[in-house]
Amino acid sequence: MSKPAATRRRNPGPSWGYGFLRALDFLLPEFLYKPIRGIGTLVAMAFMPAQRRHSREYLALALNRRPSTRDVFRHFFAFEESLMTKLRVLNGRPHKTVYAPGADDARQWMETGGPAFLGTFHVGDSDLQGFLIGDELHARVHNKIHIVRERVGNSHDTEKLAEKFGGRIAFIWVNDPREMIYAMKDAALTDNAIALQCDRCEHSARTAEFDFLGAKRRFPITIYILAAIFRRPVILTFGVPQAPGLAALHSPPRFDPIPGEPRAATLARGQKHFQDFLRQLENILREKPYIWFNFLPWNSKPSA
Amino acid sequence: MSDSLIPRLKQIIITTLNLEGMTPEEIDENAPLIGSGLALDSIDALELVVKLEKEFGIKISSSEESRAALASITSLASFIRERADPSKLSA
């Protein structure tokens, strides 16, 4: 499938920014580099008033109090550090993943592979985890992961990760919904896994309201509709940083469509599965509130 | 054969997409299926394509083919007649 043109830039930084960060990571010791990244984060915060506002909106719910400017900085800096983790993997640094308690279904699936829809989130190291899972899966059972992603104007980290993990990872770009349909269908007819991000409503035709952090928030439920259409399980995962180069993979029991089950019943079960998962995610976010990387309105508008 | 395909397609659309309360007679076979007309979204289209491929043994393999096939029920019927196994058309 050809790559669609990028429709928007993801962040306001210069196109050479990621390369610069990678170069400095080689050149500077961490005790010097970390404060410099902190200053860079403050500069980024200054130029991102909408993201600051959305960060405050989220943090007020996660912290259960009015967030301070320091809280917002820690939120932005956690995001910067997750980006650095990806760039460091690109620079050849090892990254280890351990399974959190309860992630038995994800662990078992990693050993055998097979068709599945993987639900991922803009949380902690989840983006990098998608690539690492694809890498491990390919090494074990020669399956591939098709990652459904919006193509944006300055996604250097994604581009470079795609190059590094080429052959084990493929992209399905959502920018052109018609092309996306056929890429999705073709991928779903193989034994490969398809990974979708399940916390943003853009490019998602179907959403539903869930209880999350003491408020109502809309999440896409497309993954459960696809599971029903293609009779594939849903495995939700997110990666929580534990230490430099180490993340814990959290994953609830998988969701399986039942042959012959009416669609409405499958979706009702799917929504309950997702709500249960959100409770697990909420518990983690109460402990580590800065790893939620949706600097967007609490309820983004869905689009077809 | 050609007379029965359009009502059959309408019924498939209603059943596959759970268009509760809608009858085949209410669907205009010349109206666009996606966007306006029946206003199907991309997930509906995906589900419909999967069902049609299974039902008629055809393959819609690109967005260009889909645009032509899903323009309306009439064009969908023409697309299927050109490509389907004749035994599946008479089912």
Q: Which residue has the higher pLDDT, A198 or A162?
A: A198
The domain total for chain B is 1
The confidence score (pLDDT) of residue A10 equals 56
Classify the C-alpha dihedral A240-A137-A159-A218 as positive or negative. negative
CATH of the domain at B17: 1.10.1200.10
Q: What are phi and psi of A233, to 5 degrees?
A: -75, 160
Return d(Cα A115, Cα A153) in angstroms, integer.
31
Q: Do B50 and A185 touch (CB under 8 A)?
A: yes
Amino acid B35 reads G
Structural domain harbouring B41: 2-89
- Please tell me the distance from the alpha carbon of residue A108 to that of residue A137, in angstroms, as a whole number: 11
pLDDT single digits (tens) A116-129: 999 999 999 888 87
Which tens digit of pLDDT belongs to each residue from A209-257? 999 999 999 999 999 999 999 999 999 999 999 988 899 999 999 999 9
pLDDT value of residue A4: 45
| B15-34 residues touching A, CB cutoff 8 A | 18
Q: Report how far residue A107's alpha carbon sits from residue A116's, in angstroms, rounded to the nearest whole number.
A: 13
Question: Band of the pLDDT at A301, cuts 50, 70, 90?
Answer: low
- The pTM for the full model equals 0.86
Distance CA A97, CA A89 (A): 13
The residue of chain B nearest to residue A228, with distances taken between CA atoms, is: B47
Chain B residues lying within 8 Å of A185, measured CB to CB: 46, 49-50
Burial classification of residue A128, based on how many CB atoms lie within 10 Å of its CB (0-12 exposed, 13-18 middle, 19 or more buried): buried
Residue A143's SS3 state is: coil
- Is A48:A12 a contact under the CB 8 Å cutoff? yes
Please tell me the least confidently modeled range out of A51-55, A133-137, B84-88: A133-137
In contact, A274 and A219? CB cutoff 8 Å: yes
What residues in chain A have their Cβ under 8 A from chain B's Cβ atoms? 176-182, 184-185, 205-206, 222, 225-226, 229-230, 263-264, 304
Can you tell me which residue has the tokens 């591939």? A144
**Cα separations in angstroms, A122 against A66, A189, A197, A294, B37:** 23, 27, 7, 6, 36
CB-based contact, B49 to chain A, within 8 Å: yes
Place of tokens 């050149």: A27
Mean pLDDT of chain A, nearest integer: 86
